[in-house]
Structure 1
Amino acid sequence: MKWTHEPGEAFSVLALNQDEVKRLVEVLAQHARKNVRMKYEKYKDIHDSGEATDRQNDLMFKYEEQFKLIDKIILYARS
């Protein structure tokens, strides 16, 4: 794993080898995804009941974005 900077790119990029990607996907799939999904569902239930505060809605959106990102990483790594 190393940070690289490609010419013409504004930001550095984290480069991972295949073994590191496999380990990252395992952690994301087995632990992080479940944890984030549970938090998202908790705040979504509150939101759907119509009783969510602004803070709870913000947390729902935050966990929804994290959940989608985790799924995108897992899908991309397995393709």
Structure 2
Amino acid sequence: MYPCPGSAIPGNDDADARAIVGDDGTTQWIMAARALSAPGLGFTVTIDCTGGQDPEDVLDDVNELSALIVTP
């Protein structure tokens, strides 16, 4: 399972996060989902990589460059 650094942040006890990775032979992908404390609120991020890129590395890049922190 991909590490979840957001779990160490106070106040994140009411959120749950998951990441699923896959490889179909031509495309590697990761889907990160975060549920928030309010019912029905959350978001997902899906990254598809071809050409040998690692989707977890791309997700790390997105986290570093984004104002919205995705913690799978």
Tell me if both proteins adopt one fold, taking TM over 0.5 as the criterion: no
Larger radius of gyration: 1
- Higher fraction of strand: 2
Structure showing the higher helix proportion among its residues: 1
